[in-house]
Structure 1
Amino acid sequence: METLRKLAILADAAKYDASCASSGAGKRDSRASGGIGSTDGPGICHSYTPDGRCVSLLKILLTNFCIYDCAYCVNRVSSNVQRARFTVEEVVALTMDFYKRNYIEGLFLSSGIIRNADYTMEQMVEVARQLREEHRFNGYIHLKTIPEASPELLAAAGRHADRLSINVELPTEAGLANFAPEKSMPSIRSAMGELRWRIEEAKEAKAAPAATVAPSATQTAKAPRRRPRAPRFAPAGQSTQMIVGADGASDQQILTAADSLYGNYRMRRVYYSAFSPIPDASRILPVQAPPLAREHRLYQADWLLRFYGYDVEEITDTTQGGMLDLDIDPKMAWAIRHPERFPVDLNRAPKEMLLRVPGLGVRNVKRVLMARRHGRLRVADVARLRAPMSKLLPFVQLADHHPRNALDNPGALRARLAPPPKQASLFDAVAG
């Protein structure tokens, strides 16, 4: 099969993995515009480096053959899809060719399981090794690692890759056993623990003060030798992905699993991927996909867990079966459920409470704390922060503003702040 045909198949098969973030850039292609670089084309996606730079990545599978039969996966062994497989040399050549044309700055490589986990992981590690050692490739490499692979192969992957990821796929052990019987939650968690240990060990070695080694007797006239530099290991950390809506897990169960992953394994990111009906789907899967708003709310809730000091129990509403409100964001939903905590005096409240005010993000909270050192804040001062005032004013008190009775009727406040329902399009009417 010609390389471009393989690329079309294996790039399309990789699109279901959400842990390669998209920058949302408009389509630009040097082949059409005469410029340099591309944000479009088969397999091109975008991710972010630890220093915040956005990089374009070649996102492909080594192969979409797989011996596993995970119900939610389009590449499962029982799926009737066209198969393809790259050789190690083809992936290396594609990466270098795309890089030299300035289409990409790195590689995101995943794979179905060929023969067994160790054989597949060896192939992926060899791609990274050849790029680093034989071609001196300094671009970004993200490897999707296989939890059943040996610790030695995981260690080799981390020496060459910038980031590693192991997909937990589903939030509960029961769900994984039902939809992916060949996979095991203990083996996934064990591999994540192995990666965490190696990542932290490499960080500690790098942070240790550089020591010198005393010269030998025959080298007394020479300067002391410096200790060799500590080896790198996945400096961008590890990430994972959970599928939303394929099983019956609630948002509370999903966020509880994510919170555990952040705390126990120091995940850099947990990605949420709304289940999308796939060709030739398994009968145990739902017929319809969950609303995309659910995936969006989970990302917002994830942000609250990581940066705003919320607990899972605070974010999810037990009266709604542990599900997030799809009409309003989880921060606003919490504020409306707790009117007794408001209004918050922006001139006196501590940082922890400012972070819970709807409409105030981390950056604006820092600005409020700095600005109020020089005088009492007024509405005009907060407006200059470009905060959404309609969301903010019902929950705050300022030198010239008090919300009065705005919080006395939470239901009316929620109805006013919730976005209006989207107007149905002509196409929706025809489809119905």
Structure 2
Amino acid sequence: MTFKRTLEKLEILADAAKYDVSCSSSGSNRQNKSKGLGDASSSGICHSYTEDGRCVSLLKILLTNYCIFDCAYCVTRKSNDVQRAAFKVEEVVDLTMNFYRRNYIEGLFLSSGIFKSADYTMERLVAVAKKLRLEHNFNGYIHLKSIPGASDELMREAGLYADRLSVNIEIPTENGLKLLAPDKNRADFIKPMQKVKDEIIQYKSEKKQIKSTPIYAPAGQSTQMIIGASGENDFQIMQTSNYFYKNFNLKRVYYSGYVPISYDSRLPQIGSQVPMLRENRLYQTDWLMRFYGFDVNEILNPLHQNLDLDIDPKLGWALRNLHEFPIDVNKASKRMLARIPGVGMQSVHKIIQARQYRLLNWEHLKKIGIAYNRAKYFIVCNSNQFEKRDLTADKIKGLILQNSKSKYTNMLSNQLSLF
């Protein structure tokens, strides 16, 4: 009966965890020591792929879906009529170990509703990680969702046993949070994030002096916000992301499109689910900010508050700034090369390396791997050919979209011919 009840809990609490998207490649290098179980590879957890092609995954569950809060957007809110369940600490530990031994998982992602209080819940999350590490010598990846309002002592302990910590800020703006979760305070989200940032810095400093000092939260911290529940535009969303990246050294911000689950006059109507394409554009913008040297205000501003859904944000920026083009790939800086539509960072590095030995022409660039049909409108090289001519931004956009549509049609036609 106990085993059957555990399986019932697993079904309920694994399903409830699906709304949390803040899990991905770990970025942790926790090594297996003293013949323990598992190790956390930097190449990834949660359906990510390692360098040798392995797909790795993790057990993703809530400790409980009971909650003392009544947030309008949350499926586990206290007023929602759903089946409730709660794991004991030992049950989560046993599930993790048994799943790992059967090679189902290589790590654990553990979140929770808040029952009784923030500290009461956080204490149990930490207890799970602590038991896995100390009693079972488990060296696999552990991601703990930090509970807003938890004490500094618990947050410090959490980072000693978990690879990554995360606090969901939930709604992009403070006004949106007050509207949909009036019982919550943005300060309660900030406090544990600041604690984790400070501890990471402190432990890194101490490790320089004492090599045996443990690494605190080796995969850093992340957060998640719900998109489309409270009406914020993309400019507001990315301004919030930029703030948290700069002030809390976050590894990732995740964007989760709101899924209407019940009627509430404060929320979008049922059936008005946020398009997945909008999530995709936000992630692309996030990528440009973190890896391509873009400032958030270059991509979005008060005059351009929402991302184009039909084109990616880098192309959108380029079309609004045609005065920056064409760019000579044989002379341009790394910063400007990274701003050419159709040229990724790997291609940027290849171009910089290759042009030390020769002037690059179109054939060289194609072999390097640029998206020629997109980049050709923005580049000059060791060739007389330049595709921009007298084309306007609208005409360039139309030609690129037409080419993309033709490619999709040809691909679909080739797939159908197989049958």
TM-score range, shorter chain: 0.7 to 0.9
Residue 289 of structure 1, CA deviation: 1.2
Residue in 1 that maps onto 2:274: 290
- Do 2:376 and 2:387's aligned partners in 1 also have CA atoms closer than 8 Å? no
Residue 185 of structure 1, CA deviation: 1.1
Which segment drifts farther, 244-253 or 184-193? 184-193
TM-score by length of 1: 0.84
Amino acid at match of 1:299: Y
Task: Specify the SS of the correspondent of 1:384.
Answer: helix
- Cα distance change, pair 47–148 in 1 and its aligned pair in 2 (3 A): farther
- Do 1:91 and 1:127's aligned partners in 2 also have CA atoms closer than 8 Å? yes
User: Which ranges of 4 or more aligned residues in structure 1 deviate by more than 6 Å?
Assistant: none
- Cα distance change, pair 78–233 in 1 and its aligned pair in 2 (3 A): same
Residue 281 of structure 1, CA deviation: 3.9
Amino acid at match of 2:12: I
Residue in 1 that maps onto 2:223: 240
Residue 56 of structure 1, CA deviation: 1.2
Where does the alignment leave 5 or more consecutive residues of structure 1 unmatched? Answer: 24-43, 211-228, 424-432
Query: What CA distance in whole angstroms lies between the structure 2 residues aligned with 1:205 and 1:14?
Result: 36
Amino-acid identity (%): 51
- Do 2:149 and 2:191's aligned partners in 1 also have CA atoms closer than 8 Å? no
Name which of 314, 317, 325 aligns with 2:298.
314
Task: Specify the SS of the correspondent of 1:376.
Answer: coil
- Do 1:394 and 1:407's aligned partners in 2 also have CA atoms closer than 8 Å? no
- Cα distance change, pair 6–45 in 1 and its aligned pair in 2 (3 A): farther
Query: What CA distance in whole angstroms lies between the structure 2 residues aligned with 1:113 and 1:411?
Result: 51
Alignment of 1:7 onto 2:14:
no
Query: What CA distance in whole angstroms lies between the structure 1 residues aligned with 2:263 and 2:5?
Result: 28
Residue 20 of structure 1, CA deviation: 1.3
- Cα distance change, pair 175–53 in 1 and its aligned pair in 2 (3 A): farther
Amino acid at match of 2:291: F
Residue 45 of structure 1, CA deviation: 3.9
What value does the CA root-mean-square deviation take over the aligned residues? 2.1
Amino acid at match of 1:298: L
- Cα distance change, pair 307–53 in 1 and its aligned pair in 2 (3 A): farther
Query: What CA distance in whole angstroms lies between the structure 2 residues aligned with 1:329 and 1:156?
Result: 41
Any residues of structure 2 matched to 1:249-260 within 5 Å, and which?
249-260=232-243
Larger Rg over CA atoms: 1
Residue 70 of structure 1, CA deviation: 0.8
Residue in 2 that maps onto 1:426: none
* C-alpha distance after superposition, 1:25-51 (max 9, x if no partner): xxxxxxxxxxxxxxxxxxx943589xx
Residue in 2 that maps onto 1:393: 376
* C-alpha distance after superposition, 1:168-225 (max 9, x if no partner): 1111110111111222112211221111000111122223365xxxxxxxxxxxxxxx
Task: Specify the SS of the correspondent of 1:399.
Answer: coil
Query: What CA distance in whole angstroms lies between the structure 1 residues aligned with 2:390 and 2:282?
Result: 26
Residue in 1 that maps onto 2:83: 82
Task: Specify the SS of the correspondent of 2:59.
Answer: strand
Any residues of structure 2 matched to 1:32-431 within 5 Å, and which?
45-46=46-47, 55-208=56-209, 210=211, 229-278=212-261, 280-287=262-269, 288-316=272-300, 318-320=302-304, 322-403=305-386, 405-406=388-389, 408-418=391-401, 419-420=404-405
- Do 1:396 and 1:402's aligned partners in 2 also have CA atoms closer than 8 Å? no
Query: What CA distance in whole angstroms lies between the structure 2 residues aligned with 1:165 and 1:401?
Result: 52
- Do 1:379 and 1:401's aligned partners in 2 also have CA atoms closer than 8 Å? no
Residue 140 of structure 1, CA deviation: 0.5
Residue 292 of structure 1, CA deviation: 1.1
- Cα distance change, pair 149–139 in 1 and its aligned pair in 2 (3 A): same
- Do 1:147 and 1:166's aligned partners in 2 also have CA atoms closer than 8 Å? yes
Query: What CA distance in whole angstroms lies between the structure 2 residues aligned with 1:153 and 1:323?
Result: 39
Residue 403 of structure 1, CA deviation: 2.1
- Do 1:339 and 1:407's aligned partners in 2 also have CA atoms closer than 8 Å? no
Residue in 2 that maps onto 1:27: none
Query: What CA distance in whole angstroms lies between the structure 1 residues aligned with 2:392 and 2:379?
Result: 16
Residue 22 of structure 1, CA deviation: 8.4
* C-alpha distance after superposition, 1:349-392 (max 9, x if no partner): 11111010011111110100000000100111010122211011
Query: What CA distance in whole angstroms lies between the structure 1 residues aligned with 2:95 and 2:332?
Result: 55
Residue 240 of structure 1, CA deviation: 0.3
- Cα distance change, pair 294–191 in 1 and its aligned pair in 2 (3 A): same
Query: What CA distance in whole angstroms lies between the structure 1 residues aligned with 2:169 and 2:49?
Result: 21
Query: What CA distance in whole angstroms lies between the structure 2 residues aligned with 1:340 and 1:358?
Result: 14
- Cα distance change, pair 401–123 in 1 and its aligned pair in 2 (3 A): farther
Query: What CA distance in whole angstroms lies between the structure 1 residues aligned with 2:59 and 2:73?
Result: 24
Residue in 2 that maps onto 1:31: none
